[in-house]
Amino acid sequence: MELLPLPRTGRTPVRVLTIAGTDSGGGAGIQADSRTMALCGVHAVVAVAAVTVQNTVGVSRFHEIPPDVVADQVRAVVGDIGIGAAKTGMLASTAIIDAVADVCGEVGLGRAGSIPLVVDPVCASMHGDSLLRPDALDAVRHTLIPLATVVTPNLDEVRLITGIDVIDDTTARRAAELLHHLGAQWALVKGGHLRGAATSTDLLYDGDRMISYTRPRVATGNDHGAGDTLAAAIASALAHGRSVPEAVEFAKEWVSRCLAAAYDLGAGHGPVSPFWRLSRPDNRAGCSE
């Protein structure tokens, strides 16, 4: 895999915005996004949409940020700092999704604008705790997904959004077609939740090309933040100028390595880890001029 270049000391890195929730346990959400972005040579800027009270065993509650405050964070950083790509994660409610959609239109984020947007339609944590109000699913379908340059649901999110139970390649293809039909430029159906399989396959579709990405399944219970890490790596690669299929290829390998490097934490599920990059001897070679 060709890693994304790190900036030379003192040089301004490319910037990526994450609009998402915080995880007090540091495993998922904005914390996972920021870790992956840093190790992909990206300066992360953030719009906090919700604060979760979370650890390795679950989410006990969350606090929603007022929608206008979420939108103002986006305005503040896009105008001053400038970004090459953005991603959304936990958005919690219809009101926040509406505010995010409005500000995306205003600043040119998403498939209708000039800055690519990766939409991770987060509905629940891996522990099954809700991160989205149930009445916000329609806003995910009809307001959020149509903004997406790439939408990246896991199989539980696919079921909630499309009603399709993905059990094999045929149902995964049907789901990708439906997600594209909802308005996403590219749909990536992630196979991480097909636990019985020996491999982990994600399917990417843009209305024409159906591209599958397969890696061996990593046997680990420490997979907290895998989806955020994948979406953050896609957004980072897009900001570095890669095409969507190239960005997904890169991110799939990135998350596989982060799963292989995951560590134990607390009493529950530990986080996937991008720290493996810190010990790479060839990091200097990855520096951009």
Ligand X SMILES: Cc1ncc(COP(=O)(O)O)c(N)n1
Residue 215 contact partner, candidates ligand ADP, ligand X, none, CB within 5 to 8 A by sort of partner: ligand ADP
Q: What is the nearest approach in angstroms of ligand X to the Cβ of residue 285? A: 32
Site string for ligand ADP, 93-132 (x = CB under 6 A): ---------------------------------x------
| Cβ–Cβ < 8 Å for 54, 48 | no
Question: Of 107 and 188, which CB lies nearer to ligand ADP in the complex structure?
Answer: 188
Angstrom distance (rounded) from CA 37 to CA 127: 25
Q: Is 249 among the residues that bind ligand ADP (CB under 6 A)?
A: no
- Three-state DSSP string of 192-210: CCCCCCCEEEEEEECCCCE
Question: Of 17 and 272, which CB lies nearer to ligand ADP in the complex structure?
Answer: 272
Q: Is 21 among the residues that bind ligand ADP (CB under 6 A)?
A: no
The answer to whether the Cα torsion of 42, 251, 154, 114 is positive or negative is positive
| Cβ–Cβ < 8 Å for 78, 17 | yes
Question: Of 34 and 73, which CB lies nearer to ligand ADP in the complex structure?
Answer: 34
Q: Is 25 among the residues that bind ligand X (CB under 6 A)?
A: no
Q: Is 89 among the residues that bind ligand X (CB under 6 A)?
A: yes
Q: What is the nearest approach in angstroms of ligand X to the Cβ of residue 152? A: 12
| Cβ–Cβ < 8 Å for 85, 44 | no
List C-alpha distances in Å: 182 to 139, 185, 193, 214, 257.
12, 9, 22, 25, 32
Q: Is 224 among the residues that bind ligand X (CB under 6 A)?
A: yes
Question: Of 78 and 248, which CB lies nearer to ligand ADP in the complex structure?
Answer: 248
Relative to beta strand 210-216, strand 199-205 is: antiparallel
Q: How many CB atoms lie within 10 A of CB 284?
A: 9
Q: Is 159 among the residues that bind ligand ADP (CB under 6 A)?
A: no
| Cβ–Cβ < 8 Å for 261, 275 | yes
Q: Is 52 among the residues that bind ligand X (CB under 6 A)?
A: yes
Question: Of 78 and 97, which CB lies nearer to ligand ADP in the complex structure?
Answer: 97
Task: Note the residues at the interface with ligand X (CB under 6 A).
Answer: 20-23, 28-29, 52, 54, 89-90, 122, 125-126, 131, 224-225, 227-228
